[in-house]
Structure 1
Amino acid sequence: MSDYEKAFREIITKAVCGKGKKFSQTAHSISPTHKPSSILGCWVINHKYKPHYKKDCVVVEGSYDINIWYSHSNNSKTEVVSETVHYRDEVTLSKKDKNVQSNNNDIACHPIQEPNSLEANVSPNGNKIVVQVEREFLVEVIGETKVKVQVDDDGFIFEDDDEWENELDEAFEDLDSDFLVDELEE
């Protein structure tokens, strides 16, 4: 065995082997039952997503509901329209470990920015509502990788254990042991 082989060991462990982040803005066209006069409110709820690993990227597929409160009939009536929209984001891995041991990787996916309505407007033709939605994800690929560590064949021995204990004894000698008793009696 060479000196190098004696001094280092390879350990196989689970670690973050890839990382990526993606920001998206999407325009959704929603068809209400009545011709909208104006938009009174818009919100995004019920966000669901599922990531899966694809070579050099993580695909995040999900859905959310867009709810729009709008007026119609020349602003004399209101109604809420709700529509479920689906999306597919491919998050490129900007940092990737080339020493990943297998393709059986775990994916950690965290929304940095949950889907959020930026703007909702009546479309130019007046029949639909166009909603701008933003979202952002951080993904991490967790897999098996190799780590090299240096080995100390001589072991790690404290020869000065007694000296260290003596230093502690000297530090405690300066403590006023009556201090705590006086505080408790008051």
Structure 2
Amino acid sequence: MAENAYREIITKAVCGKGKKFSQSAHTVTPTHKPSNILGCWVINHKYKTTYHKDAVIVEGTYDINTWYSFNNNTKTEVVCETVNYRDRVPLTLRDKQVVSDHVDVACRPLQEPNCLEAKISPNGNRVVAQVEREFLVEVIGETKVKVRVDDDGLVEAEDEEENDEELDKELDSLDSEFLTDDDKEDE
């Protein structure tokens, strides 16, 4: 292999990846003392991400809607509470060849926030909702990659003056009377 066998190319690529599953217990306070939980669901999920060298921070909110009965199961109501969360997603795969401090973060939920279980708290005045969520994050930045170069494909730069002299010789050798008067009349 010659000294020119490899080249370094700077390109944008995935420079880090991470995944995190988490569960949270949220306490929802209804307006009446609940008799039974009839349903619980999570909606309006919003989040944003920030990059911190070895992890991505995912911060967001979602609404927990809890449908419950009260007054000895004679009436029902839905209570909605917005909750905040903050997940630190560690980067398990990291590229050490990153050449720029500016990176982009791509984040997508593998599991949107979802209520696993909702039950009445031991004191009987609140509802405890168990919520799960999972995120996959990718950090995209400029990195160096090495590629092998075909030595036969390398071309040495030629001397321009030598090329100009050869071109002048070829032009001088052209027949300026290439088209005769007879040929011009046929046209």
TM-score by length of 1: 0.81
Does 1:37 pair with 2:35?
Answer: yes
Q: 2:7 aligns with which of 3, 6, 9?
A: 9
* Deviation of 1:3 (Å): 2.7
Could you tell me whether the CA contact under 8 Å between 2:105 and 2:137 is conserved in 1? yes
Could you tell me whether the CA contact under 8 Å between 2:109 and 2:134 is conserved in 1? yes
Query: What does residue 131 of structure 2 align with?
Result: 133
Give the SS at the match of 2:125.
coil
> After the TM superposition, which residues 62-101 of structure 1 pair with which residues of structure 2 at under 5 Å, given as runs?
62-101=60-99
* Deviation of 1:155 (Å): 2.4
Deviation sequence 1:106-156 (CA, Å, 0-9, x none):
000010000000000000000100000000000000000000001112129
Query: What does residue 145 of structure 2 align with?
Result: 147
* Structure 1: 4+ residue segments shifted above 2 A: none
* % same residue: 72
Query: What does residue 109 of structure 2 align with?
Result: 111
Structure 2: give runs of 5+ residues left out of the alignment.
155-187
Query: What does residue 167 of structure 2 align with?
Result: none
Tell me the distance in 1 between the aligned counterparts of 2:148 and 2:76.
71
Tell me the distance in 1 between the aligned counterparts of 2:49 and 2:133.
15
Q: 1:57 aligns with which of 42, 55, 65?
A: 55
Q: Higher Cα Rg: structure 1 or 2? A: 2
Structure 1: give runs of 5+ residues left out of the alignment.
157-186
Could you tell me whether the CA contact under 8 Å between 2:2 and 2:151 is conserved in 1? no
TM-score by length of 2: 0.80
Query: What does residue 47 of structure 1 align with?
Result: 45
Does 1:22 pair with 2:20?
Answer: yes
